[in-house]
C-alpha cells in the first residue's frame, strides 16, 4: 500500500535547501531512493537570532513557545487534525523562520539565551 501523501515523504522535505541535490551534496546524509528523504539532516540550517546561531534543537527545546507563537502570529493551530498532513516541510519552516524575525516569545527566549552566553565569556 502506497502511504505517501501530500506533505509526506520526499515532496515534503525536497523543498529544504540542500535536500534536492545529488547524494553527498547538501545538508545531510544519503537520500533514500524510495522516500526521497535523507537518513539524517544537519542541525545547522543557517538560523540566527541577534547574530547568534540557532539550531533546530534550540527550537525543539522551546516547542511550546513555537506552537503558541505560530498561533498568535499566523493563526496556525498545530493541534488541528490533519493540518501538517496537507502542508509541506517548507511551509512550516518558512513560518518558523518568520517567528525568528519578529518579536515573539520564541525569539525573546533565544535572545536571553544568547545574551547569557555572551556574558559568560
Kindly give, in sequence order, each residue whose CB lies less than 8 Å from that of residue 94, ignoring residues fewer than 6 positions away.
none
Q: Is the pTM of the predicted complex or chain greater than 0.85? A: no
Same domain, 100 and 81: yes
Q: The C-alpha cell of 91 is what?
A: 511551509
pLDDT tens, per residue, the chain with 121 residues:
444 333 333 333 333 444 344 444 456 778 888 887 777 766 556 677 777 788 888 999 999 999 999 999 999 999 999 998 889 888 998 999 899 989 999 999 998 665 554 554 4
Same domain, 51 and 110: yes
* DSSP per-residue letters across 65-100: HHHHHHHHHH---TTSTTTTTSS-HHHHHHHHHHHH
Domain that holds residue 74: 44-121
Same domain, 32 and 48: no
Same domain, 48 and 21: no
The helix (run of H) or strand (run of E) holding residue 48 is strand 47-49
Same domain, 1 and 22: yes
Same domain, 88 and 110: yes
Amino acid at each position: 500500500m502506497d502511504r505517501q501523501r501530500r506533505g509526506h515523504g520526499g515532496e515534503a522535505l525536497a523543498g529544504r535547501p540542500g535536500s534536492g541535490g545529488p547524494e553527498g551534496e547538501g545538508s545531510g546524509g544519503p537520500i533514500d531512493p524510495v522516500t526521497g528523504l535523507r537518513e539524517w539532516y544537519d542541525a545547522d540550517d543557517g538560523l540566527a537570532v541577534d547574530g547568534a546561531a540557532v539550531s533546530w534543537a534550540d527550537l525543539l527545546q522551546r516547542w511550546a513557545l513555537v506552537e503558541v507563537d505560530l498561533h498568535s502570529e499566523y493563526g496556525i493551530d498545530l493541534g488541528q487534525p490533519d493540518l501538517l498532513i496537507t502542508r509541506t516541510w517548507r511551509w512550516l519552516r518558512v513560518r518558523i523562520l518568520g517567528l525568528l524575525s519578529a518579536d515573539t516569545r520564541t525569539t525573546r527566549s533565544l535572545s536571553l539565551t544568547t545574551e547569557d552566553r555572551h556574558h559568560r565569556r
